[in-house]
Chain A
Amino acid sequence: MDSRENKKDLIQKRNTHQDEKLCGRREFLKGAVKAAALGGSMMMTGCGTSLTGSKEEFVLEWKEYFKGNYRLMTQEERDETVRRMERLAKLKMGADVKISSRGPRKQVLYGYAFNISRCKGYMDCVAACVKENNLDRKSKTQYIRIFEKEHGNMNVTSGNGKYFHEVPAENHFYMGVQCFHCENAPCIKACPIKATWREPDGIVVVDYNWCIGCRYCMAACPYWGRRFNWNKPEVPLKDLTRKQHYLGNRMRTKGVMEKCTFCVQRTREGKMPACAEACPTGSRVFGNLLDPKSEIRYVLKNKKVFRMKEDLGTDPKYWYFMD
């Protein structure tokens, strides 16, 4: 991609992007007057958007509403709900998606290492992640943050995550942060309804249909690794990644928590996560921690590594190293 064109495009987008307050004071008052005129019927019509769909859609939604927690489902139930969701995606968005419910591989525990002396802050990883994981384009949700830090300071809070200039900048280094898939994850402990858990292959996932959106996990995460769907997530149909996973990049609804899943839809097929594949500098090393010959094990053995906020005892599976 031509970087100059890219730059112009980005600057324009960035300048025109105004975080429109959905409910200004005036709109609110206007609405209140309308509501007073229409009375309670307003609320009924507001809530009932799903009722306007076809009968088939309604039946599917109904069944989806009453399904249980993914972890407690049998394989047949999982297959059934996956079929329902694929059908619903067709009915609602007109998209042919393929949703997988593939379980974890045996003898696999995923780990990640990030080379802070290689990363140049190009943010190809962020763009690839947004595309692969169908992240909301409206609120510009991103799982990965890249922090620009000045030499001489390793303080976690000292980075600038909103840099927008030619990179790499003089006297700076770059540090990528995303969900660290802690072995002893505070978010899992916090969730009141077991809607988030650690899979046997070490990935911390969310059941988007079970989550009630209380955001306690978000408060419990010391790494700011979780994102909430404040509005209904929107992805243009042409940009939709159709190969999906139940615990991964399938479309979320509004009001649920989501997070990096190490691209569960890819990694369980043997592929690298989108961020690692997109990285133009090779700063991202991904692999199986239980495989003594894997690259990640080589890094841990031969490099001096550290983890973020290790003193909290969260035991992340995400290491930083330098050349």
Chain B
Amino acid sequence: MKRCPFQRKLSLILILSFLIFFGCKEYSEHTGGVTVTMKEATAPFDDKEIVESIPRIPKNPVLVNTRYQGGFFWTETRHDKIERFRCSNCHNNNEAPIDKAAKVAHGNIVLVHGPENKPLKCFTCHNQDERDFLNTERGTKIEMDHSYQMCGQCHFRQKRDWVGGAHGKRISYWAGKRTVMNCASCHDPHSPKFAKKWPKTYSLALSD
């Protein structure tokens, strides 16, 4: 039988085109990326190993009385960050000399909170009878450490995100027992909007 003179060349071309075809196919196949990897990861994350090496920061966190998707979580204390807590040291029925009272009264507080036409007043939040506590709209007494409950009355969206993790931030560690900052860690409760200020640093203009 006579061999086709181009047999070798033809087979070479065939092999080459197969290689190119499968090469391209290999490259064009997508696994679906990180979103799929994420969806497939439904097992609870076991962070025991990491947790063991993590000290609790802060030392005595407050157990939040709401749960997040992962169960209990904690927040920073508030009462120890308030200057001259407890409030009842001054706000009691005892008389105070007027000169001393003027010095320690809250003249430095700027209240920019709430709608312009109907700003908040002191006793919108503070309990008038027991000054160590806060007071909800419904009249429930709230401890300073659980002030997030006060904020959440109006800012319920922010509170929902804070519980879930889209608002606010964790303290130092991404793993281990979840301890987050509370509302007043970042926002001044009396004027909660962030102030204008100069940035901490600057980026160098590369051209000059």
User: Which one of B47-55, B125-133, B145-153 is at the A interface?
Assistant: B47-55
How far, in whole Å, are A291 and B34 apart by their CA atoms in the complex?
13
B44 touches which one: A108, A162, A292 (CB < 8 A)?
A292
> In the complex, what's the smallest C-beta–C-beta distance from A318 to chain B, in angstroms?
10
Chain B 164-197 against A: per-residue CB contact (8 Å), 1 yes, 0 no?
1111111011111000010000100000001011
Q: A267 near B69 (CB under 8 angstroms)?
A: no
Q: Which residues of A contact B43 (CB under 8 A)?
A: 107
Q: Which residues of B contact A317 (CB under 8 A)?
A: 34
The answer to the question of A115 belonging to the interface, with a C-beta cut-off of 8 Å to chain B, is yes
Q: B45 near A285 (CB under 8 angstroms)?
A: no
> In the complex, what's the smallest C-beta–C-beta distance from A89 to chain B, in angstroms?
25
The answer to the question of A276 belonging to the interface, with a C-beta cut-off of 8 Å to chain B, is yes
Q: B201 near A126 (CB under 8 angstroms)?
A: yes
B208: nearest chain-A partner, CB-CB: A19
A164: nearest chain-B partner, CB-CB: B202
The answer to the question of B80 belonging to the interface, with a C-beta cut-off of 8 Å to chain A, is no
Q: B170 near A270 (CB under 8 angstroms)?
A: no
Q: A284 near B169 (CB under 8 angstroms)?
A: yes
Complex interface residues of chain A between 56 and 95 (CB less than 8 A to chain B): none
Complex interface residues of chain B between 64 and 94 (CB less than 8 A to chain A): 68-71
How far, in whole Å, are A276 and B50 apart by their CA atoms in the complex?
19
Q: B172 near A272 (CB under 8 angstroms)?
A: yes
Q: Which residues of A contact B158 (CB under 8 A)?
A: 323
Given contacts A107-B45, A109-B37, A303-B166, contact A164 B199 (CB under 8 A): yes
A290 touches which one: B38, B50, B68, B194 (CB < 8 A)?
B38
Q: A290 near B186 (CB under 8 angstroms)?
A: no
Q: A292 near B41 (CB under 8 angstroms)?
A: yes
Q: B201 near A127 (CB under 8 angstroms)?
A: yes
The answer to the question of B108 belonging to the interface, with a C-beta cut-off of 8 Å to chain A, is no
How far, in whole Å, are A299 and B42 apart by their CA atoms in the complex?
16
B38: nearest chain-A partner, CB-CB: A289
Q: A166 near B38 (CB under 8 angstroms)?
A: no
Q: Which residues of A contact B208 (CB under 8 A)?
A: 19
B163: nearest chain-A partner, CB-CB: A298
A271 touches which one: B46, B172, B201, B205 (CB < 8 A)?
B172
Chain A 274-292 against B: per-residue CB contact (8 Å), 1 yes, 0 no?
0011011110111111111
The answer to the question of A295 belonging to the interface, with a C-beta cut-off of 8 Å to chain B, is yes
Q: A269 near B53 (CB under 8 angstroms)?
A: yes
> In the complex, what's the smallest C-beta–C-beta distance from B187 to chain A, in angstroms?
10
User: Which one of A3-11, A26-34, A44-52, A211-219 is at the B interface?
Assistant: A3-11
Given contacts A270-B50, A282-B186, A321-B166, contact A289 B34 (CB under 8 A): yes
A109 touches which one: B34, B70, B161, B169 (CB < 8 A)?
B34
The answer to the question of B204 belonging to the interface, with a C-beta cut-off of 8 Å to chain A, is yes
Q: A162 near B173 (CB under 8 angstroms)?
A: no
Q: B44 near A293 (CB under 8 angstroms)?
A: yes
A8: nearest chain-B partner, CB-CB: B198
Complex interface residues of chain A between 243 and 294 (CB less than 8 A to chain B): 267, 269-272, 276-277, 279-282, 284-294
The answer to the question of A184 belonging to the interface, with a C-beta cut-off of 8 Å to chain B, is yes
Q: A120 near B194 (CB under 8 angstroms)?
A: yes
Q: A289 near B205 (CB under 8 angstroms)?
A: no
Q: A293 near B70 (CB under 8 angstroms)?
A: yes
The answer to the question of B2 belonging to the interface, with a C-beta cut-off of 8 Å to chain A, is no
Q: Which residues of B contact A279 (CB under 8 A)?
A: 169
The answer to the question of B25 belonging to the interface, with a C-beta cut-off of 8 Å to chain A, is no
> In the complex, what's the smallest C-beta–C-beta distance from A14 to chain B, in angstroms?
6
What residues of chain A have their CB less than 8 Å away from a CB belonging to chain B? Answer: 1, 3-4, 6-7, 10, 14, 17, 19, 105-109, 111, 113, 115, 120-124, 126-127, 130, 139-140, 142, 145-146, 161-168, 183-184, 267, 269-272, 276-277, 279-282, 284-300, 302-303, 313, 315, 317, 321, 323
- For the complex of A and B, 5 pairs with smallest distance between CB atoms: A295-B165, A293-B70, A291-B45, A290-B41, A123-B199
